């Protein structure tokens, strides 16, 4: 996006706050007008003092003469008093100036954060498969903060610079247009330097932000995988690796700092040149009598007021360029196309929960970069091929097969975590692509193989699927205990020091693998869906616990459509029908007894698992 386009975006964001920014800028105008007029009255005080000692007539400062103000109405004390009043007024106006710009800038960034969150929550699983959490976190934190700095201090300083410089130059021109022109000699150099350095800052800050995302991702990987790192004694290697990323990031920041360090000293030097020119040529004017002492003093005061805007110019340009770079990264994220969305006129899922899969062939896709730089989605080898089955409402289907056969992919497709081809998956006779995502996922709940627990209490992790219980889990204690008993988790939770109020570490790190899986089962039961999909979520529990949970699940699945996925025969043997998937295809189907009689893969694995169980006993 061009510089002009970015400026329009900033204006659009500012407009969302209605009158607040204009009030802030108006207060800034009061501050600047007071600051600019104050030196004029100081000049009048000097003229009155000089006249008092010399007896000469009082020279009226040109700005006051233009306003029709004569020195006869003032004494030295009243002129100084007006100077002080203007100073006080300027400081009073600074409060609304800051509050009506700083606070709205925070509110705008709240809107940006919600935009990012809404977009991320609407993205598909396939998008997350290709994305790095470090990139996402960097955009949602440091990039949003850079935009806030642009919309808060950046806008305020830019407006202050523009307004104050305009007022000062106007006042200087009224006092002496010849000396003003001399003062402006360094301006072309300021513009040239600012343009060059601002473009460098934009490029280098964007590079820093992208590198920060990369370093954040590496740090996240290290902390998330700390057990592996320590378990294999790889601490030294990981320290060395992270030190390398940190050193690279330091180098990029140093390149950015070099640009920033040129701004203020260069602008300050130009201001020093202007001040020196005023002292030289203004002093000559006073000596020759072509300029009054009061005017010369006012000139020096006003030139002093340019020091802030000169420094502010560099700072505001820096904030704007950094905000632009971050805004581009935010837009790039939020404008990523959503792969799975509600169809036009999508229907709400409603019915008893009958599932039908018809000639389903599914494959994942990968991004392929073409020669012209565009990205094209390239389909991979099919993971599911010509899958067909039907589960009447209230019945249970077992899905059995080896690891990597496509069972979990099937579960994800049924809930549209990945989109199936049109006309292949139906819920109560409706193509699931024609149903709203929210109603589909409320009706069809998946307890995934890879359990994720949030950094909250055991109780909140269990009831997170229920709006009526998530905010006050203590009110649903009976329900929490009921589902925990069904998942064979209650007795173990009771032994925790804080029971159901025990805080879980990141991803439930303070629970065993079996406990995490059982908590996930309890969470899925709490959702009370019409269709419950259990994706190999008993793989980490022992045989005795598995038997108890399976017995309880018969009660849970009674009258509910169920799909039990496992590579263990014991988990699927009580299903009304079982399908066997090998290499993405259904190779067998039937009841437990029928599959044993077929003497195929199912019967062979059943015999092996039965023998292993007997040997373990």
pLDDT of amino acid 232: 63
Which of the following CATH numbers is that of domain 359-369+376-616: 3.30.430.20, 3.40.50.300, 3.40.50.360, 3.30.70.240?
A: 3.40.50.300
Residues of the chain whose pLDDT is less than 70?
Answer: 1, 60, 62, 66, 223-228, 230-232, 260, 263-264, 267, 305-314, 366-379, 471-475, 506-508, 540, 612-617
Q: How far apart are CA 507 and CA 452, in angstroms?
A: 6
Q: How far apart are CA 268 and CA 313, in angstroms?
A: 11
Q: pLDDT for 261-295, tens place per residue?
A: 776 677 677 777 877 887 888 888 888 877 777 77
What does pTM read for this prediction?
0.73
Whether 3-15+105-334 shares its CATH topology with 359-369+376-616 is answered no
Which phi and psi angles does 343 have, rounded to 5°?
-70, 155
Q: How far apart are CA 549 and CA 562, in angstroms?
A: 15
pLDDT of amino acid 300: 77
pLDDT of amino acid 204: 82
Q: CB count, 10 Å around CB of 386? A: 13
CATH architecture of residue range(s) 3-15+105-334 = Up-down Bundle (1.20)
Q: How far apart are CA 348 and CA 15, in angstroms?
A: 37
pLDDT of amino acid 506: 67
pLDDT of amino acid 563: 93
pLDDT of amino acid 612: 67
Which phi and psi angles does 452 have, rounded to 5°?
-120, 125
Phi-psi region of 166 (alpha: psi -120 to 50; beta: other; left: phi over 0): alpha
pLDDT of amino acid 143: 87
| Domain ranges for the chain | 3-15+105-334, 359-369+376-616
Q: pLDDT for 371-409, tens place per residue?
A: 555 555 656 788 999 999 999 999 999 999 998 889 999
Exposure string over 396-421, b if 16+ CB within 10 A, otherwise e: bbbbbbeeebbbbbbbbbbbbbbbbe
User: The tokens 């259990």 sit on which residue?
Assistant: 534
């Amino acid at each position: 996006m061009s510089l002009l386009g970015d400026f329009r975006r900033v204006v659009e964001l500012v407009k969302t706050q209605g009158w607040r920014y204009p009030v802030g800028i108006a207060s800034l105008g009061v501050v600047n007008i007071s600051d600019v007029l104050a030196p004029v009255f100081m000049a009048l005080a000097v003229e009155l003092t000089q006249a008092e000692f010399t007896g000469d007539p009082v020279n009226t400062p040109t700005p006051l003469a233009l306003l029709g103000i004569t020195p006869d109405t003032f004494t030295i004390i009243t002129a100084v008093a007006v100077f002080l009043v203007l100073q006080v007024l300027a400081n009073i106006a600074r409060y609304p100036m800051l509050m009506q710009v700083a606070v709205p800038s925070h509110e705008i960034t709240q809107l940006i954060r919600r935009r990012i969150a809404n977009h991320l929550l609407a993205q598909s699983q396939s998008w997350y498969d290709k994305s790095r959490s470090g990139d996402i976190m960097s955009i949602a934190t440091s990039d949003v903060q850079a935009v806030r700095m642009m919309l808060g201090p950046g806008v305020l300083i830019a407006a202050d610079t523009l307004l104050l410089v305009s007022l000062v130059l106007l006042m200087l021109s009224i006092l002496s247009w010849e000396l003003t022109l001399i003062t402006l000699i360094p301006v072309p150099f300021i513009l040239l330097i600012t343009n060059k350095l601002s473009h460098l800052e934009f490029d280098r800050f964007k590079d820093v932000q992208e590198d920060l995302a990369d370093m954040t991702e590496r740090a996240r990987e290290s902390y998330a995988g700390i057990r592996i790192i320590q378990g294999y004694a790889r601490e030294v290697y990981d320290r060395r690796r992270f030190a390398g990323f940190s050193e690279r990031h330091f180098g990029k920041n140093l390149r950015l700092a070099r640009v920033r360090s040129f701004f203020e000293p260069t602008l300050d030097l130009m201001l020093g040149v202007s001040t020196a020119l005023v002292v030289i040529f203004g002093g000559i004017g006073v000596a020759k009598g072509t300029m009054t002492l009061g005017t010369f003093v006012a000139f020096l005061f006003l030139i002093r007021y340019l020091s802030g805007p000169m420094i502010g110019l560099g700072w505001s340009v820096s904030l704007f360029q950094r905000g632009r770079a971050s805004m581009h990264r935010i837009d790039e994220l939020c404008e990523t196309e959503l792969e799975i969305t509600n169809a036009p006129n999508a229907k709400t899922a409603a019915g008893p929960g009958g599932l039908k899969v018809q000639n389903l062939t599914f494959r994942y896709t990968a991004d392929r970069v073409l020669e012209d730089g565009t990205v094209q989605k390239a389909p991979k080898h099919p993971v599911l091929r010509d899958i067909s089955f039907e589960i009447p409402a209230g019945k249970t289907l077992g899905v059995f097969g080896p690891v990597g056969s496509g069972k979990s992919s099937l579960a994800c497709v049924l809930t549209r975590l990945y989109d199936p081809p049109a006309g292949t998956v139906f819920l109560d006779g409706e193509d699931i692509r024609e149903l709203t995502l929210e109603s589909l996922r409320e009706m069809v709940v998946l307890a995934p193989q890879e359990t994720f627990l949030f950094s909250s209490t055991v109780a909140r992790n269990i009831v997170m699927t229920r709006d009526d219980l998530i905010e006050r889990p203590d009110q649903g204690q009976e329900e929490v205990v009921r589902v925990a008993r069904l998942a064979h988790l209650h007795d173990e939770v009771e032994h925790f020091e804080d029971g159901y109020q025990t805080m879980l570490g990141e991803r439930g790190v303070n629970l065993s693998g079996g406990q995490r899986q059982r908590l996930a089962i309890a969470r899925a039961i709490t959702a009370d869906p019409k269709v419950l999909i259990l994706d190999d979520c008993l793989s980490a529990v022992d045989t005795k616990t598995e038997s108890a949970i399976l017995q309880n699940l018969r009660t849970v699945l009674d009258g509910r459509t169920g799909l039990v996925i496992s590579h263990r025969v014991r988990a699927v043997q009580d299903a009304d029908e079982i399908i066997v998937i090998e290499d993405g295809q259904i190779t067998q189907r039937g009841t437990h007894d029928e599959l044993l009689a077929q003497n195929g893969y199912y019967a062979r694995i059943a015999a092996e698992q039965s023998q292993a169980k007997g040997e373990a006993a």
